[in-house]
Amino acid sequence: MMESRSPICNTCGEDIGVKSNGEFFVACHECSFPICKACLEYEFKEGRRICLRCGNPYDENVFDDVETKTTKTQSTIAINNTPQDSVIHARHISTVSTIDSELNDEYGNPIWKNRVESWKDKKSKKKKKDTKATKAEDNEAQIPPQQQMEDMSSNTEAGATNELSVVIPIPRTKITSYRIVIIMRLIILALFFNYRITHPVDSAYGLWLTSVICEIWFAVSWVLDQFPKWAPINRETYIDRLSARFEREGEISQLAAVDFFVSTVDPLKEPPLITANTVLSILALDYPVDKVSCYVSDDGAAMLSFESLVETADFARKWVPFCKKYSIEPRAPEFYFSLKIDYLRDKVQPSFVKERRAMKRDYEEFKIRMNALVAKAQKTPEEGWTMQDGTSWPGNNTRDHPGMIQVFLGYSGARDIEGNELPRLVYVSREKRPGYQHHKKAGAENALVRVSAVLTNAPFILNLDCDHYVNNSKAVREAMCFLMDPVVGQDVCFVQFPQRFDGIDKSDRYANRNIVFFDVNMRGLDGIQGPVYVGTGTVFRRQALYGYSPPSKPRMLPQSSSSSCCCLTKKKPTQDPSEIYKDAKREELDAAIFNLGDLDNYDEYERSMLISQTSFEKTFGLSAVFIESTLMENGGVPDSVNPSTLIKEAIHVISCGYEEKTEWGKEIGWIYGSITEDILTGFKMHCRGWRSIYCMPLRPAFKGSAPINLSDRLHQVLRWALGSVEIFLSRHCPLWYGCSGGRLKLLQRLAYINTIVYPFTSLPLVAYCTLPAICLLTGKFIIPTLSNLASMLFLGLFISIILTSVLELRWSGVSIEDLWRNEQFWVIGGVSAHLFAVFQGFLKMLAGLDTNFTVTSKTADDLEFGELYIVKWTTLLIPPTTLLIVNLVGVVAGFSDALNKGYEAWGPLFGKVFFAFWVILHLYPFLKGLMGRQNRTPTIVVLWSILLASVFSLVWVRINPFVSRTDTTSLSQNCLLIDC
């Protein structure tokens, strides 16, 4: 590969230079944003002392160094403000100008971003700068200093008003007090554990030791969860500025193209009508139609899915122009027509009412046709499904069928009823054959990555679940405010939107909305290296999925394969291109062979050599069209490709054997090895040095459906927890993976560690929830008699816990009810789904056994939240039910024992009952879900309850609390004196 050279300044395009010790100059040690000393001096002169990318303040040492130089070299700074050189050193002028078209190339990108030619003529540029500097000194003497300052301030204001997004830090009054309380809580925890460990309970040593171990684990879990929220931020986007820059009137739109991925498997479990609404909301986006392509992956090869897309494409010809004409929100017809609002508000067109009624009638007819297709598909014919032309459906055998691709809109020339072009809609079903590992959803997503690269190759990808529709038609524009920003977006691998849900009861009994996670944890991560990938509602940079490193990151030295974290090998001038792969294979994460920035340093011959090398084929697969598309940073289909062969090539890249002996699923694309492939995929990108961004528009970008009954919710949590256990037991465990690379920040690593170890909290949680009942039944306690100091420690601990929660609610805006629901379901899921996930994960990873927990359901009343009261029996319900009964029996036994012993027993009883009620209150939503509606509880639940109650009743009788304790020795002696 190429020799190591200085990184390029992201503002002026020059080398950032080196310090006196020979190291590259680094202004921001948080994100390593490349900016040279001259540009940094200009930033300080303008009063900007925070990083342009991450928003963190520059290091104080950098301040002192630059301020000293600024004082000594005022004339140099003045030179940089002269008109001749303003394009080079005035970022806010050169990068955000929307008027001077000469500053942009034909693609709308700023001139300074095109670094291809900058390295060739550095010497000539240096000479020109010297000449300009001489002229500028003469001009400076003629311009009054006051006028210079006015010009500088006007330039700064003009640049600031054209930024596409800004970082809004949390107010200091809120975040400072929050951090102080966190530190205080750490100190109190240390003192608390010092007391707990140095004051054992001899009479109940086993219970005391168990409780201390559990409490230490809870403290570690709190640290892992709390400190990634140390620096939360908010962001604000400016869509109007995005349009002003990339959609000038009378010119072709320069907005980047986006490929949408929608995944579905079984249309009988995932209703085609819901999938159709998702597709319709994508096709009706407020975005240029030639920039939108929707790919629907049918991993079940169902003819029902294919036919439903035929109907969807036909209805889209009416729905899309209607939405765009009247600015409909949301643009999923099922959810738009179900809104209980005044739809006449803000709609002044007289024809709106008439057209809306006609459109609603057309949609009802569309639903009838869709439901007819579903009813027809309930029973499969013995000879299999047959298409309209009489041929057999290729996917009759879902485990053995060829790859299928059908383009419904876009390429076929189909237009809407008004004659306008429609976005592309493509049906994809990858090939499946016996004996091949298909990797479920992750494999389907990787197939979509390849087929979309061949057909459209948009530089950005947005993936959605089939039940998540676009709720905000401008959502893609929100993401482009980050991804297309020349400063912020260069190192952004994906933009994550929060998940919002419909159809959940107001009290959110089982914390389905996950408000605490999406509004607290994710905003905290956005202030570090970015939020984690949560599986849907994410806009990816395609190059990041290919395993490339971010262009602005400095090169890493070659490392051993066990600890490498990035794909950055060095190229010697005399090295043959065929040896690139051999060198790159020494690094574990070297998926893309080299950094994208290095492509600028190859001539056409070397590039053609690289494209044809076996290194690319072993990485990306045997497709010349796809390999060439991976090198196109701005997307687009290669000019050298014959359009008539694209479909054939697309069929080739979704064949079941295409990924054999490649890096797919290992280093590029969606990563295999866990059913939660989203966490693993985002983790690999962050390890390579990319950052992500969290976007929270006022109107939620996407909405979906969530399981609202207890059993389905527990099974959802079980799947997530099982995926975390799989990652923990894999080579990608964040505890050690990529540690020596240094590109994953410490707090970001703590967040990822928390995502994989949280299921193991179930073990101490079950033990801790059992301790109150044992203490009540045995009369022992885990805490000794408290002294004044110990009482103060316990009181301080509880106060710090409350204050942390209150201050967290203050800066996040989350309600106390949401926090309490989250706390309750943390206990419910911890003692059920997380516990089963730990055992199932170890059985699966170590013994190869895959355990399934079946779910059976009963019907519910046809009410608004009827599904909430459905009771589905599953083995996941056993542990929480047992804990409830045990603690209820313990409370009864404790009060009975206190009544028997008298006044002195009521004091110790208070502490024991307090912990028992703590468990019962946290499990209360589970108890309500278990009972369902009146007379709706399954018989099996009643039987288990009676059995468990009987067992613990026998234990209670064995303890015999009502019988006074007698001296058995004296009793036996008295018996011996009796003469029988």
Catalytic site positions: 299, 678
Q: Does the annotation place 440 within a ligand binding site? A: yes
Q: Does the annotation place 270 within a ligand binding site? A: yes
Encoded amino acid at 106, one letter: E
CA 573 – CA 1 distance, rounded (Å): 7
CA 873 – CA 938 distance, rounded (Å): 7
Vertex 229: Cα angle to 223 and 233 (nearest 5): 170
* DSSP 8-state symbol, 695: -
The answer to whether 564 and 588 have CB atoms below 8 angstroms apart is yes
Q: How far is CA 171 from CA 176, 363, 628, in A?
A: 8, 48, 48
What the block records as the tokens of 531 is 């939020």
CA 701 – CA 476 distance, rounded (Å): 9
CA 477 – CA 201 distance, rounded (Å): 62
Largest CA-CA distance found in the chain, in angstroms, rounded: 131
Cross-strand partners of 426 = 295, 407
Taking alpha carbons only, the member of 878, 580, 563, 912 closest to residue 711 is 878
- CA 640 and chain centroid, separation: 37
The answer to whether 789 and 933 have CB atoms below 8 angstroms apart is no
Encoded amino acid at 681, one letter: T
Q: Does the annotation place 465 within a ligand binding site? A: yes
The answer to whether 532 and 681 have CB atoms below 8 angstroms apart is no
CA 2 – CA 15 distance, rounded (Å): 16
Taking alpha carbons only, the member of 431, 536, 546, 538 closest to residue 494 is 538
Who's near 129: CB < 8 A, 6+ residues apart?
A: 85
Burial of 823 (0-12, 13-18, 19+ CB in 10 A): middle
CA 923 – CA 882 distance, rounded (Å): 11
Taking alpha carbons only, the member of 843, 597, 852 closest to residue 715 is 852
What the block records as the tokens of 233 is 């931020």
The answer to whether 619 and 662 have CB atoms below 8 angstroms apart is yes
Burial of 614 (0-12, 13-18, 19+ CB in 10 A): exposed
Q: How far is CA 13 from CA 70, 98, 160, in A?
A: 21, 20, 21
DSSP string covering 462-525: EEEETTEEES-TTHHHHHHHHHT-TTTGGGEEEEEPPPEEES--TT-TT-TT-HHIIIIIHHHH
Q: Does the annotation place 298 within a ligand binding site? A: no
* Enclosing H/E stretch for 258: strand 258-264
Pairing of strands 233-237, 165-169: antiparallel
Q: Using only C-alpha atoms, what is the Rg of the chain?
A: 32
Cα four-point dihedral sign 968, 972, 977, 978: positive
Q: Does the annotation place 684 within a ligand binding site? A: no
Helix (H, G, I), strand (E, B) or coil at 694: strand
Q: How far is CA 900 from CA 772, 888, 896, 904, 905, in A?
A: 20, 19, 6, 11, 9
Adjacency order of strands within the sheet including 468-470: 468-470, 702-705, 500-502
To the nearest 10 degrees (0 to 180), the angle between helices 906-922 and 924-931 is: 60
DSSP string covering 228-241: GGSS-EEEEE-HHH
* DSSP 8-state symbol, 739: G
Q: Which residues are annotated as a binding site for Mn(2+)?
A: 441, 465
Sequence ranges of the binding site for UDP-alpha-D-glucose: 263, 269-270, 299, 440
